[in-house]
Amino acid sequence: MKNTPFTHKHIEIGAKMAEFAGYNMPISYTGINDEHFAVRNSVGVFDVSHMGEFILKGDGALDLIQRVTSNDASKLTNGKAQYSCLPNNDGGIVDDLLVYCVEENKVYMLVVNASNIEKDWNWISKYNTANVEMHNISDKTCLLAIQGPNATKALQSLTDMDIMNLKYYTFTKGVFAGVDNVLVSATGYTGAGGVEIYFEDINDNANKIWDAIFEAGKAYNIKPIGLGARDTLRLEMGFCLYGNDIDDTTSPLEAGLGWITKFTKDFTNKATFEQQKAEGVKRKLVGFEMIDRGIPRHDYLIKDAAGNAIGKVCSGTQSPSLNKAIGLGYVATEYSSIDSDIFIDIRNNLVKAKVVKMPFA
């Protein structure tokens, strides 16, 4: 198992640790519910240094990104980012990712899922016919997500960058907690506001920045947050998790990601997705909440009232904010309308649920 530059910090403060995407990661510290509400109500810090980062440089960088991603990166100007995905040749998704425009038409950073770093690198490299300069900086890049309504208030004293007024999906670079060349991005995976900060793991930067953040956040009761609460927070917002809700077999149109699938440009397997858009998809990713008692789990069958299988659960949990069980799942399109009754097969019992609009909270 790999460690992040903060693994020793997690262990010192008593985190429950487990393997995730090949890394020794904190699952929880004080409990998932406690950490969940810390982020929803104030501010929490996630170590997400396991994520992957690629730099693409040169005259052909934008053309390569346009070829391999579904969203239109030509719309990006300096200091802006976008959510996108890498379509495969079979109508599925290689990965979902963030694209950062560092220097328009010249320099971009791609942020990919930890479990897909090698896979994504090989996929993009396959289409790099113009010899675009590519650098995998994953192993030397630290990434902390400071999330919650008080996140930027807690951090502003650590920098002269105006992070309190950063617009969603924009970023800036500068000195943060005495460390130069820190990228601060108004992005995150919680729906609670806040920023993500990227910096190089040199000169004890990891310890300096971690300690400075927790000192600055004392007035806001800042807390470290594990992957358990990260999952409940993202699920309440209806955000997809690669490997659960999207994968090599799921189309972005099935997953409700038509908004990042732009047909105004050419990209990998565009024709398949154009056909899906024209004809409609046979299944859709929906959010649902349980009506009867029960927790939906990954791969549980979704059925109709007669007990016929109509889909599968992708993600499910007991929502701390709503105090009810919620989930995401793919269902046959005719069952995807809001307020449709569906049934989750939990230990051979049909447990009633209802399709609802997302986000849940």
pLDDT digits (tens, 9 = 90+) for 134-163: 999 999 999 999 999 999 999 999 999 999
User: CA–CA separation, 246 vs 240, rounded Å?
Assistant: 7
pLDDT digits (tens, 9 = 90+) for 291-321: 999 999 999 999 999 999 999 999 999 999 9
pLDDT digits (tens, 9 = 90+) for 332-361: 999 999 999 999 999 999 999 999 999 999
**CATH number for the domain running over 52-137:** 3.30.70.1400
Give 199's DSSP letter: E
Give 275's DSSP letter: H
* The two domains 7-49+139-236 and 282-356 share their CATH topology (first three levels equal): no
User: CA–CA separation, 68 vs 127, rounded Å?
Assistant: 7
The pTM of this model reads 0.97
* Mean pLDDT within 242-259: 98
> What does the block give as tokens for 301?
């069958």
111 with 124: CB under 8 angstroms? no
- Label residue 331 by pLDDT band (50, 70, 90): very high
Domain ranges of the chain: 7-49+139-236, 52-137, 282-356
**CATH number for the domain running over 7-49+139-236:** 3.30.1360.120
For every residue of 23-86, DSSP letters joined together read EEEEEESS-HHHHHHHHHHT-EEEE-TTSEEEEEESTTHHHHHHHH-SS-GGG--TTEEEEEEE
> What does the block give as tokens for 267?
């990209």
- Label residue 117 by pLDDT band (50, 70, 90): very high
320 with 237: CB under 8 angstroms? no
* Fold (CATH) for 282-356: Elongation Factor Tu (Ef-tu); domain 3 (2.40.30)
- Residue 235: which residues within 8 A CB-CB, separation 6 or more? 315, 316, 317, 319, 326, 327, 328, 360
Percent of the chain at pLDDT > 90 equals 100
User: CA–CA separation, 47 vs 7, rounded Å?
Assistant: 9
pLDDT digits (tens, 9 = 90+) for 32-70: 999 999 999 999 999 999 999 999 999 999 999 999 999
> What does the block give as tokens for 262?
């732009």
262 with 273: CB under 8 angstroms? no
For the chain, the average pLDDT equals 98
